[in-house]
Amino acid sequence: MTVLDDIIAGVREDLHARQREVSLEELKERVASVSPARDALSALRGPAASTVEIIAEVKRASPSKGDLSDIPEPAALAHEYEAGGAAAISVLTEGRRFKGSLADLDAVRSAVSIPLLRKDFTIDPYMIWEARAHGADLILLIVAALDDEQLREYLELTHRLGMNAIVETHTPEEIRRAADLGAKIIGVNVRNLKTLETDNTHFSSLVEHLPEGPVIVAESGVAGPEDVAAYASSGAQVVLVGEALVRNRDPREAVGDFKNSGRKARTGYLETAQNEDEHAE
| Active site residues per annotation | 57, 59, 119, 168, 189, 219-220
Could you tell me where the DSSP H helices lie in the chain?
3-21, 24-33, 40-45, 74-84, 102-109, 125-133, 148-160, 172-181, 202-206, 225-233, 243-246, 251-280
Dist CA 130 CA 136 (whole Å):
9
Quick check: helix, strand or coil at residue 217?
strand
Report the b/e string of 4-38 with b at 16+ CB within 10 A: beebbeebeeebeeeeeeeeeeebeeebeeeeebb
Name the region of 99 (left: φ>0; alpha: ψ -120 to 50; beta: rest).
left
Going by C-alpha positions, the residue among 261, 257, 255, 206 that lies closest to residue 235 is 206
* Separation between Cα atoms, residue 215 and residue 224, nearest integer Å: 22
Angstrom distances, CA of residue 244 to CA of 2, 37, 202, 262 = 26, 28, 19, 15
